[in-house]
Amino acid sequence: MWINDLSNDIKLDLKRMEKFIRDAGEPDYKIVHVGGTNGKGSVCQFLANILYDYRVGVYTSPHLERVNERIVINGKEINDEEIESYEHLKKYGFTYFEALTAIAIEYFKEKVDYAIFEVGMGGRLDATNILTPTLTIITNVALEHEMYLGSNIEAIAKEKAGIIKNAPVITACKGAALKIIRQVANQRNVEIYIVGEDIKWKKIGKRKFIIKSEDVYEIKSPLYGNFQGENIAIAVKSAEILGIDKEKIVEGIERTRWPGRMEIIGNFLLDGCHNPHAVKAFVNSLEDFEYNDLTIIFGVMKDKNVEEMLKILKPLNATFIATTIRNKRALPAEKIAEIGKKIGINFIVCENVEEAIKMNKKGLVCIIGSLYLVGEARRFLKHKSLMTC
């Protein structure tokens, strides 16, 4: 497809997207804009399922196996022919991500009532930030993409807050990040709803949560991970603001599926945790699993804080396997092992995730560090007939 010939370079400016939206015109549907560091995709999926009685478009990234996964209407992916039909957008000189964002904006026109757009990176200069939202969500802020977004939480929070416009804001940010998000919301004179203050949640059992907002909800999460309580709280408040009934909110959340996020396939647990904040959440969520032996298959991109991620994993009584993702931005397995050795983790080095899986480790085998790695693992496990979807 023509989009595969486009640059994957990160270009943080809005010139091309602004020209496109001037030419194309504003969308005719309501927009929920979802930014933050972690949990964006889960929030998008929860909300899409809550809104399922409407026509709902969802734009997320990255994809696990097919680019079509990024642009979906009520569970149905855009097809290759439909993507090809937007080849005229090449005239804008888009990057790969910009082109997909523009395709989604156009594809959803006259087809959806709501569109949920996930920010790609940062916020202020992200390609999605030419949209005018009905509701803005900033899940949380943690250190990530420091070379692009800034070297501290405050700087990154300012970039994330760049998506706040003239719509209510929901956030689960804390500390210095919350201070900045609140400040920008106040400057914009928009309502802000804060998880921990206006919306509260508590884990009451394995994948069971109580959410207290305008109403009280008892929800069993279909997705594993203690952190899903926070994501569900955000989705609940979002749905309340959009006027959705309690019954529809609970039903929508409980039917949500989101591959590659604490996903169980046989004795494998796949999670795309790709920064220290997400790795910590992953480790905390292992309490919901019973196992005698634990294996960690780890692959990661070069721009991640690998040493910090490995320090969080180190206390686990596990066998560690390093692997290289098939991506030019991937950190070689040998380099992962080198960093691990420096902090006291001895890695087995495998050329790729297939080789690591073929080691047939017993117990719980976790494949983590990147959604790109998870995508490769899912393809291989599907080939091995360990999964049906």
Q: What is the pLDDT of residue 388?
A: 46
Segment 178-200 mean pLDDT? 98
Q: What is the pLDDT of residue 389?
A: 45
225 pLDDT exceeds 80? yes
Assigned token pair, 189: 């004179």
Helix H, strand E, coil C: the string for 274-290 is CCHHHHHHHHHHHHHCC
239 pLDDT exceeds 90? yes
Segment 359-389, tens digit of pLDDT? 988 999 999 999 999 999 999 998 776 554 4
Q: CA quadruple 328, 332, 336, 338: dihedral positive or negative? A: negative
Segment 3-12, tens digit of pLDDT? 999 988 888 8
| CATH class of the region 263-383 | alpha beta
Residue spans per domain, the chain? 2-254, 263-383
The per-residue b/e assignment along 23-34, b for 16 or more CB within 10 angstroms, e otherwise, is eeeebebbbbbb
Segment 320-333 mean pLDDT? 96
Mean pLDDT over each residue of the chain, to the nearest integer: 96
Percent of the chain with pLDDT strictly greater than 70? 99
2-254 folds as UDP-N-acetylmuramoyl-L-alanine:D-glutamate ligase (3.40.1190)
Segment 320-344 mean pLDDT? 97
**pTM confidence score:** 0.94
The CB-side HSE value for 91 (13 A sphere, CA atoms) comes to 6
Q: What is the pLDDT of residue 360?
A: 85
Segment 57-66 mean pLDDT? 96
111 pLDDT exceeds 70? yes
| 296, 300, 305, 310 alpha-carbon torsion, rounded to 10° | 10
96 pLDDT exceeds 60? yes
Segment 344-357, tens digit of pLDDT? 999 999 999 999 99
